[in-house]
């Protein structure tokens, strides 16, 4: 969002920018938002590096130490999941921007994208005196350069979000009303990182908020549905999930008291409701469904086929925490594995759908190149590509007792 100069008299402020501990500390230092740092000193700080991988029974957490408009300082700690202090798991959009901003982990620089910097600024502020004092953020708490660690931690993503004291949904910075700004005279100014409004009206903004890119991410499905408690954030304003749901349903004309709402096969019956990206998640998190959210992989791929992911493999990996226990036991023999090629992930997912007992929603004729909704879920448009993938999936002996090395060798020989 471009930096704008505000008209005089508005109650809004914009500002622009000017190794791991081994256990969770019992009395970490409180952060001081008024502390300032020398830009010259900051430029000389070394880059952060991870000291050791996180094992399956562990997780890393961030603790805000010093949060101000110039710099964000955190400690990063690693400890056993069972002894983790109350934390919020952050659900947000990674985006396509470069990691042009920096935060500081144990005093060392760590690059982050602008959207995440803004998110950490506000959540760091909220950590004071709240029900949680630590944050879990996938881009930071998982070493993204270590495929083995990613595989282990992504496999446990459902546990990470479900066990959080709260899931913090970051929708981004508020949109500045046109009548509150005028075009900036200096187009060279950097983008705004902080926009603070003293009175943000969620009702007036509900249409835009319910259609933000956040709601189109594949990972959001799992993060959103597995949360025990949800709080939505937009800049320095926040709202409980219950209030947001009621406001959205009122806007779209959805009647939560309808006895058929949330029932299998129930669909939205208004064109207006279908145009809101957030609404499908409202239906899936309905009181009559939650927490009975586990579904067959086929149903999940079809239901969330319009969702997007930067990494095509996440179209499958992001749904693993929501598949039925029986299907997950089969799928986890292969997934998640970020060393796999995209095609291999698609072939194995198709083989699972083809060879696993048919669900009530699958077509009687089976999976064909015309299974539009399924292939849309897998991100495959070309019919020739679908035909090739289906042929490989049918040839692959999915029910055999494979180990990772055998799978890699098989697909290398098949030139998938």
The string of DSSP codes covering 373-384 is: HHHHHHT---HH
pTM score: 0.84
Positive or negative, the CA dihedral 364, 368, 373, 375 is positive
Report whether 47 contacts 110 (CB < 8 A).
yes
> Which percentage of the chain shows pLDDT scores above 70?
79
Q: β-strands 108-112, 72-80: how paired?
A: unpaired
Report residue 389: phi and psi, to 5°.
-65, -40
Cα 124 to Cα 212: distance, rounded to the nearest angstrom: 23
Q: Report H helices in 311-403.
A: 314-317, 325-331, 342-355, 372-378, 383-395
Cα 11 to Cα 85: distance, rounded to the nearest angstrom: 37
Cα 25 to Cα 353: distance, rounded to the nearest angstrom: 46
Numbers of helices and strands, H then E, in the chain: 17, 13
How much is the pLDDT for 97? 87
- Whether the per-residue pLDDT at 285 is higher than 60: the answer is yes
Per DSSP (E only), the strands in 92-220 are 101-105, 108-112, 134-136, 166-170, 181-182, 194-197
21: helix, coil or strand?
strand
Report whether 292 contacts 322 (CB < 8 A).
no
How much is the pLDDT for 18? 37
Rounded CA Rg of the chain: 23
pLDDT level of residue 366 (50, 70, 90 thresholds): confident
Tokens encoding 215: 């709601």
Report whether 349 contacts 334 (CB < 8 A).
no
Q: β-strands 134-136, 87-91: how paired?
A: parallel
Tokens encoding 11: 């109650």
How much is the pLDDT for 189? 55
pLDDT level of residue 186 (50, 70, 90 thresholds): low
> Mean per-residue pLDDT for 181-199?
65
Residue 70 DSSP code:
S
Report whether 297 contacts 350 (CB < 8 A).
no
| Nearest residue to 280 via CA among 328, 220, 323 | 220
Tokens encoding 102: 């920096």
Give the lowest-confidence range in 62-71, 134-143, 396-405: 396-405
Cα 321 to Cα 410: distance, rounded to the nearest angstrom: 27
Cα 340 to Cα 198: distance, rounded to the nearest angstrom: 48
- Whether the per-residue pLDDT at 292 is higher than 80: the answer is no
Q: What angle do CA 248, 254, 256 make, to 5 degrees?
A: 95
Please tell me the number of Cα atoms within 13 Å of 246 on its side-chain side.
5
Cα 260 to Cα 263: distance, rounded to the nearest angstrom: 5
Cα 141 to Cα 54: distance, rounded to the nearest angstrom: 9
Give the lowest-confidence range in 15-19, 114-118, 190-194, 203-207: 15-19
Q: β-strands 87-91, 166-170: how paired?
A: parallel
Which residues fall within 8 angstroms of residue 244, CB to CB, at 6 or more apart? 202, 232
How far CA 355 is from CA of 229, 281, 345, 359, 367, in Å, comes to: 37, 29, 15, 11, 10
Edge to edge, what strands does the sheet with 134-136 contain?
A: 108-112, 101-105, 72-80, 58-67, 134-136, 87-91, 166-170, 230-234, 237-240
The burial of 118, by beta-carbon neighbours within 10 Å (0-12 exposed, 13-18 middle, 19 or more buried), is given as buried
How much is the pLDDT for 179? 55
> Which percentage of the chain shows pLDDT scores above 90?
60
Report residue 35: phi and psi, to 5°.
-70, 140
Q: How far apart are the first and last CA of the chain?
A: 41
């Amino acid at each position: 969002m471009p930096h704008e100069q505000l008209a005089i008299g508005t109650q809004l402020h914009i500002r622009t920018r000017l190794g791991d501990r081994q256990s969770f500390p019992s009395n970490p230092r409180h952060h001081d938002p008024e502390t300032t740092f020398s830009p010259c000193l900051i430029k000389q700080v070394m880059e952060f590096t991870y000291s050791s991988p996180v094992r399956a029974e562990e997780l890393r957490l961030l603790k805000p130490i010093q949060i101000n408009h110039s710099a964000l300082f955190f400690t990063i700690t690693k400890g056993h999941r069972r002894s983790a202090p109350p934390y919020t798991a952050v659900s947000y959009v990674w985006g396509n921007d470069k990691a042009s901003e920096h935060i500081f982990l144990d005093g060392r620089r760590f690059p982050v994208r602008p959207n995440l910097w803004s998110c950490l600024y506000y959540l760091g502020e909220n950590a004071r005196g709240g029900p949680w004092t630590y944050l879990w953020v996938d881009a930071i708490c998982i070493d993204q350069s270590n495929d083995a660690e990613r595989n282990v931690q992504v496999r446990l993503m459902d546990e990470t979000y479900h066990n959080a004291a709260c899931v913090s949904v970051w929708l981004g910075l508020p949109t500045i009303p046109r009548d509150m700004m005028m075009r900036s005279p200096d187009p060279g100014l950097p983008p705004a990182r902080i926009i603070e409004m003293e009175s943000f009206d969620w009702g007036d903004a509900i249409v835009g908020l319910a259609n933000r890119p956040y709601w189109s991410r594949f990972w959001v499905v799992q993060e959103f549905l597995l949360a025990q408690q949800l709080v939505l954030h937009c800049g320095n304003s926040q709202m409980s999930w219950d209030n947001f749901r009621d406001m959205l349903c009122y806007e779209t004309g959805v009647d939560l008291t309808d006895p058929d709402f949330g029932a299998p096969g129930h669909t939205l019956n208004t064109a207006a409701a279908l145009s809101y990206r957030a609404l499908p998640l409202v239906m899936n998190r309905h009181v009559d469904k939650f927490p009975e959210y586990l579904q067959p992989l086929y149903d999940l791929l079809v239901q969330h086929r319009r969702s997007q992911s930067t990494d095509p493999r996440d179209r499958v990996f992001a749904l693993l925490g929501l598949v039925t226990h029986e299907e997950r036991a089969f799928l986890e023999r292969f997934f998640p594995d970020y060393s796999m090629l995209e095609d291999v992930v698609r072939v194995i997912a198709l083989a699972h759908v083809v060879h696993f007992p048919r669900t009530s929603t699958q077509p009687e004729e089976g999976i064909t190149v015309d299974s539009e909704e399924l292939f849309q879920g897998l991100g495959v448009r070309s019919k020739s590509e679908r035909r090739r993938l289906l042929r490989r999936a049918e040839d692959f002996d999915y029910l055999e007792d494979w180990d990772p090395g055998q799978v890699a060798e098989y697909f290398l020989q098949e030139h998938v």
